[in-house]
Amino acid sequence: MNHREKDIRAMSPPPALATSLQEIEAAVSPVAARQTDYPAGWCVAPHAHSRHQLIHAVRGVMVVEAEAGRWVVPPTRAIWMQAGMTHAIRCIGEVHMRSLFVAVDAAPRLPARTQAVGIAPLLRELVRAAMEVSQPYAPASRDGRLMRLILDELRALPVLPLHLRMPADARLQQICDALQRRPDDASTLADWATRLDVDVKTIQRLFARETGMTFGQWRQQARLLRGLELLATGAKVIDVALALGYDSPSAFAAMFRRHFNAAPGQFFDA
One domain, residues 148 and 172: no
Last residue of a domain, one of 105, 123, 154: 154
pLDDT of residue 106: 94
Contact 140, 63 (CB under 8 A): no
On the question of pLDDT at 129 being above 70, the answer is: yes
Last residue of a domain, one of 154, 176, 208: 154
pLDDT band at 235 (very low <50, low <70, confident <90, very high): confident
One domain, residues 143 and 173: no
pLDDT band at 160 (very low <50, low <70, confident <90, very high): confident
pLDDT band at 7 (very low <50, low <70, confident <90, very high): very low
Radius of gyration of the chain (CA): 20
One domain, residues 173 and 262: yes
On the question of pLDDT at 45 being above 80, the answer is: yes
User: What angle, 0 to 180 degrees and rounded to 10, lies between the N-to-C axes of helices 170-181 and 189-196?
Assistant: 130
pLDDT of residue 202: 95
The total number of structural domains in the chain stands at 2
Q: In this structure, what CATH number is given to the domain that contains residue 84? A: 2.60.120.280
What average pLDDT does this structure show over 95-107?
A: 95
One domain, residues 150 and 219: no
What average pLDDT does this structure show over 144-148?
A: 97
One domain, residues 230 and 143: no
One domain, residues 45 and 141: yes
The whole domain housing 56 covers 21-154
197, burial (CB in 10 Å: exposed 0-12, middle 13-18, buried 19+): exposed
Q: In this structure, what CATH number is given to the domain that contains residue 218? A: 1.10.10.60
